[in-house]
């Protein structure tokens, strides 16, 4: 925390929220404060830059799918999918039917666990530790599934790779997924019964983002949906097997931090519905594993692919000149617009005590913004 006292006015000073704040992640916001009120805020990103876009120019398609895990730690499988789809579109490769189902299954499980982190982090930010422990505790059941299917708890190591998936689902996976879905429902029930004590009081009416501002500032995903904009790439520009599935897009009109929490929770319910449908329709045929190949060239061309990940709209622009490695790969993370213009807009005029609630309700991830 930096304090700059103004000689004329001792109640106005500059406060640094992050990057060493326990609730900020690798990100910082400079707040101009007058008494308890924030008069202006300036986002200060760049603490987690790892240069993935440049690193991708030196690696082939399978090696890049490993890198795509790391774009956002909490949504590794979703980022795997965006990258794999970009390469698939360039190569024009036919993806086996079962691989498409597994891709959607894993992406939706990843969405659930990402929303659980969101819920947990928001709870922690406002001092509702019960919510934090419930969300992170139940998230571990989903990590157990990832461990079983991909071989790693957090990083799937490019499980969703160009051409399909690296290996088939194990035989015991279906029963375990059904068991975990039951556990997730149990968690949602617990959250609902606990949150009225703290979460609702601390987030209701806080950080209101109205529909016009959400559109103007480029909000996507659950943040836009909590402000009454019904937009979802899974509906607007469907990919994989989403057109065949029956699910709804939860929206709220309030636009406050509480509405964003509710949208997140309702999305978990919709994801559970999707996973159940996928499991029901999954083809029985055994899937051949995909192994890395050397000197596997990507055909010439350029492509932009967008997907709906838990935090919003994710995109990958890829240009290939016919070599093994892409000529250019641009990653569009949803957090950039949420962390800079939306956050600055919402923090202006708020109280210091509400800063963590607003900050975490935006479901932001410094990793996918800085890349």
Partner 1 sequence: MIKTILELIRNLFKKPMTVRFPHESIEIPEGFRGEHAYEIDKCVSCGLCFRVCPNRAIEMIEAPEKHRDKYPKTYPRIDLGKCCFCGFCEDICPTDAVKLTKNVYLSTFDSKSVIKEPIEK
Of the candidates 247, 207, 208, 253, the residue with the CA atom closest to the CA atom of residue 228: 253
Interaction pattern, residues 56-95, with partner 1; x per rule: CB under 8 A: ---x--xx--xx----------------------------
Q: Is 152 in the site for partner 1 (CB under 8 A)?
A: yes
For residue 86, the minimal CB distance to partner 1 (Å) is: 18
Interaction pattern, residues 318-357, with partner 1; x per rule: CB under 8 A: ----------------------------------------
Of the candidates 58, 80, 103, the residue with the CA atom closest to the CA atom of residue 314: 80
Q: What tokens were used for 119?
A: 């819920």
Cis bond leading into 258, ω under 30°? no
List 157, 208, 215, 249, residue binding partner 1 (CB under 8 A)? 157
Q: Is 48 in the site for partner 1 (CB under 8 A)?
A: no
User: Which residues ranging from 179 to 208 are in contact with partner 1 (CB under 8 A)?
Assistant: 190, 192-194, 196-197
Q: In whole angstroms, give the CA distance from residue 145 to residue 28.
A: 34
Q: In whole angstroms, give the CA distance from residue 277 to residue 273.
A: 6
DSSP state at residue 94: P
For residue 114, the minimal CB distance to partner 1 (Å) is: 20
For residue 19, the minimal CB distance to partner 1 (Å) is: 25
Interaction pattern, residues 292-321, with partner 1; x per rule: CB under 8 A: x-x---------------------------
Q: Is 151 in the site for partner 1 (CB under 8 A)?
A: yes
For residue 109, the minimal CB distance to partner 1 (Å) is: 16
Q: Which residues contact 200 (CB under 8 A, 6 or more apart)?
A: 258
Residue written as token pair 């807009």 = 345
In the chain, alpha helices (H): 52-56, 61-69, 76-91, 97-125, 129-150, 173-195, 199-203, 211-217, 221-225, 233-236, 257-281, 335-337, 343-347, 355-361, 366-370
Binding site for partner 1 (CB under 8 A): 59, 62-63, 66-67, 137, 140, 144, 147-148, 151-152, 155, 157-158, 166-167, 170, 190, 192-194, 196-197, 289, 291-292, 294
């Amino acid at each position: 925390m930096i304090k700059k006292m103004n000689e004329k006015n001792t109640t106005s000073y500059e406060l640094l929220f992050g990057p060493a704040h326990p609730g900020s992640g690798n990100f910082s916001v400079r707040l101009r404060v007058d008494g308890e009120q924030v008069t202006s805020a300036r986002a200060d990103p760049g603490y987690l830059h790892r240069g993935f876009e440049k690193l991708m120019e030196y690696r082939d398609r399978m090696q890049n799918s490993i890198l795509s895990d790391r774009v956002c730690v909490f949504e590794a499988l979703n980022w795997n999918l965006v990258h794999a789809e970009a390469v698939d579109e360039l190569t024009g490769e036919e993806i086996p039917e079962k691989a498409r189902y597994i891709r959607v299954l894993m992406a939706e499980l990843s969405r659930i666990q990402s929303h659980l982190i969101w819920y947990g982090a928001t709870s922690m930010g406002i001092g509702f530790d019960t919510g934090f422990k419930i969300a992170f505790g139940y998230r571990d059941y989903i990590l157990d599934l990832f461990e079983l299917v991909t071989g790693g708890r957090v990083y799937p190591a490019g499980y969703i790779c160009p051409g399909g998936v690296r290996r088939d689902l194990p035989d015991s996976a279906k029963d375990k997924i059904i068991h975990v879905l039951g556990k997730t429902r149990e968690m949602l029930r617990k959250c609902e019964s606990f949150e009225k004590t703290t979460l609702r009081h601390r987030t209701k009416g806080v950080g209101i983002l109205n529909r016009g501002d959400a559109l103007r500032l480029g909000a996507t995903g659950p943040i836009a949906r909590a402000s009454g904009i019904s937009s979802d790439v899974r509906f607007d520009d469907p990919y994989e097997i989403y057109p065949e599935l029956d699910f709804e897009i939860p929206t709220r009109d309030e636009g406050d931090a509480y509405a964003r929490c509710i949208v997140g929770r309702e999305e978990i319910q919709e994801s559970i519905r999707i996973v159940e449908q996928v499991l029901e329709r999954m083809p029985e045929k055994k899937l051949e594993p995909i192994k890395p190949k050397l000197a596997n060239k990507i055909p010439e061309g350029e492509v932009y692919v967008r997907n709906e990940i838990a935090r919003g709209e994710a995109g990958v622009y890829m240009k290939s000149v016919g070599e093994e490695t892409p000529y250019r790969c641009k990653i569009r993370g949803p957090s950039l617009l949420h962390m800079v213009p939306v956050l600055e807009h919402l923090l202006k005029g708020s109280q210091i005590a509400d800063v963590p609630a607003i900050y975490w309700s935006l479901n932001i991830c410094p990793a996918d913004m800085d890349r």
